[in-house]
Amino acid sequence: MVIDALLPWLRWLIAFHIMSVMAWMAGLFYLPRLFVYHCQVAVGSQESQRFKIMERRLLKAIMTPAMCASLFFGVLLVLTPGGVDWHAGWWHTKLTAVFCMFAFHGFCSRWCKDFAADHNGHSEKFYRIANEVPTILMMVIVIMVVVRPF
């Protein structure tokens, strides 16, 4: 069976999943911080243009490919026999937090488009608070996977 063929590759799948998640998380931590700094410069200024380029490149060249790789390797891990106990509560909590991480990525993408069009509608404080969301989600995910409290 195709799924059984994944077993010899389990350690490799785990390694590539961790690496892709790390790259994705780095972007999710950094992009809202760029938004904080972008709020501090004048619309249309040279600094604003520089932030637009940095934000777009981070989102398109690093974050989105890393998110896709995280999803790909995560799905392969789920398909690996014995990888998931579908009745365990920790799994559902982790999966919910992962879906929230995807949603946050979507919000970051939207905010990036808003800045690119000079239509940012949020304050510096908003982005400072938003910058904490991926940290909290990451903590929930790691605790669920490592500790499996329920």
Q: Which residues contact 143 (CB under 8 A, 6 or more apart)?
A: 149
113 is in an annotated binding site: no
How far apart (Å, rounded) are the C-alpha atoms in residues 110 and 123?
A: 15
Only one residue has tokens 């605790």, namely 143
Reduced to 3 states (helix: H, G, I; strand: E, B; else coil), residue 97 is: helix
Reduced to 3 states (helix: H, G, I; strand: E, B; else coil), residue 126 is: helix
Structural tokens at position 6: 């994944």
92 is in an annotated binding site: no
18 within 8 A of 54, measured Cβ to Cβ: no
Please give the annotated binding residues for heme, written as ranges: 17, 94
User: Annotated binding site, which residues?
Assistant: 17, 94
